[in-house]
Amino acid sequence: MNSINHFFLYCAGVHEETLKKYPQEHNKYVAIGATIFFTGLFAAMSGGYAMYFVFSGTYLDWLLAIVFGIIWGLMIFNMDRYIVLSINKSKTGGFQFLQAFPRILLAILIGIVISRPLELKIFDKEIRENLKTTYIANERAKTDSLNIIFNKKYAFELNQLKALTTERDSLDANIKADRQKLNYEIFGNKTTETSGVVGYGPYAKRKELELERSSVYLDSLRSKVSVKESVIRDKQKVEGILNQKGLSNASLDSAVNLAGFADRNSALGNLKIKANGKVDQATENAVNFIGLLFIFLECLPVFVKLLSGRDAYDRAIRNQRIIDEYESDASIDTEKAAIDHLKEASIDISINRRLKKLNEEIEEEV
C-alpha cells in the first residue's frame, strides 16, 4: 500500500496489521478514511474563514485565522474518527443503529456548524449587496428619525417658515399675473380686466403703483424667509442633522469589508426574504441544499460503517477483542490466585513468628 492509502487507513482508525490479511477490504476503509479526512479539511476551511471575520482588522488576522482553522479541523477530524471507531460491528443491526443514533445527531450538528461559514463564502456577492442595502436603509432611517425629532422640537419655527414661504410664493405668483395684465393694458390686449385701448392710461398707472408696493412687500417677505431659513439651518447644525451624509460607494465597500460574522450571517438569512416580505424560494432552496450537502458529508462515514456488512476484518477484530478480554480476565484470575497463595504463606510466617515469641517468653519465666 502506498503512503496515501496508509494515511487514509489511519484516518479510518483501522488496525493495519490485521487488515493486511484481508486485502479485499482495503478499498472500503480507504474510502471511509478519505471521507473523514475531507470532512476535517472542510471543517478547517470553514473555521478559518469564520475566524477571519472575528479577528479582521487586528494584527496578523490571517495567521490567527489559519491557526484556529487548523485546530478546529483537527478537532472535527478526531471527533469523526472516534464516531466511526466507536460503532461495534459485532452487534446486531438494530443495536448498531441505536449505538450510532446519538453519533448521527452529533454528526448533523457538526455538519450544520461546518456548512454555515462556507455558505457565507459561497453567497459572498449576494451578502455584500444585501449589506449595502441594509446600511443605506439604516442611514436613511437614522436621518428620518433625526428629522422627525427636529420637526417636533422646532414645530413653531418651522410653521412660521412655512407660512412665510407660502405667502411669498403666493404674492410672487400674483405679481407675475398682475404684471401680465399691465402689459395687456398698455399694449391694448382686450380681456375681462383690461380696456383693450393702447396706451398708458389711469388703470395702467394704478396697476403699476400696486405692483411697486407689492414688490416692496415681496422683498421684505424674501428677507424674512431668508433670515428664518438661516436660523433653521443653524438649529439643524446644532442638532447634527446637517452632519448626516449619504454613504458613498467607497464608504459602503469599506463598511462591508469590516462587517463581522454576525452581520454576514444575518444578511444570509435576509437573502431568503424578498422586498415584499415573501420567501425567495430559489435562494432558500440553494442555501438549504448546501447545508444538507455538508450534513450528508459529515454523516457519510457513519452511514458507510452502518450499511457495510460484517466483513472478515470486523470478525478478526471481534475475535482479537474476545482473546484480549479473555487474556485480561485470565491475568486477573492469575494475580488473584497468586495473592491468595501469598496470603496463606504470609499467615504461616506470622504464626511461626508469634510461636517463636511465645516460646521465648515461656523460657524467660522458667
Query: Average pLDDT for consecutive 10-residue bins of the chain (366 residues)?
Result: 82 82 82 85 82 73 86 86 76 72 78 78 83 80 81 86 89 83 64 59 73 85 88 80 63 72 79 74 81 80 73 76 77 78 77 78 70
196: left (phi over 0), alpha (psi -120 to 50) or beta: left
Q: HEC states along the chain? A: CCHHHHHHHHHHCCCHHHHCCCHHHHHHHHHHHHHHHHHHHHHHHHHHHHHHHHCCCCCCHHHHHHHHHHHHHHHHHHHHHHHHHCCCCCCCHHHHHHHHHHHHHHHHHHHHHHHHHHHHHHCHHHHHHHHHHHHHHHHHHHHHHHHHHHHHHCHHHHHHHHHHHHHHHHHHHHHHHHHHHHHHHHHCCCCCCCCCCCCCCHHHHHHHHHHHHHHHHHHHHHHHHHHHHHHHHHHHHHHCCCCCCCCCHHHHHHHHHCCCHHHHHHHHHHCCECCCCCECHHHHHHHHHHHHHHHHHHHHHHHHHHHCCCCHHHHHHHHHHHHHHHHHHHHHHHHHHHHHHHHHHHHHHHHHHHHHHHHHHHHHHC
How far is residue 14's CA from residue 19's CA, in Å, rounded to a whole number?
A: 7
Res 191: pLDDT: 61
Residues 6+ apart with CB under 8 A from 112: 291, 294, 295
Q: Cβ of 262: how many Cβ atoms within 10 Å?
A: 10
Res 333: pLDDT: 76
Residue linked to cell 415573501: 278
CA nearest 298: which of 87, 112, 50?
A: 112
Largest CA distance in the chain: 177
CA nearest 73: which of 104, 117, 18?
A: 117
How far is residue 69's CA from residue 82's CA, in Å, rounded to a whole number?
A: 20
How far is residue 40's CA from residue 48's CA, in Å, rounded to a whole number?
A: 12
Q: What is the pTM of this model?
A: 0.54
CA 254 to chain CA centroid, Å, is 19
How far is residue 137's CA from residue 145's CA, in Å, rounded to a whole number?
A: 12
Res 185: pLDDT: 63
Res 22: pLDDT: 81
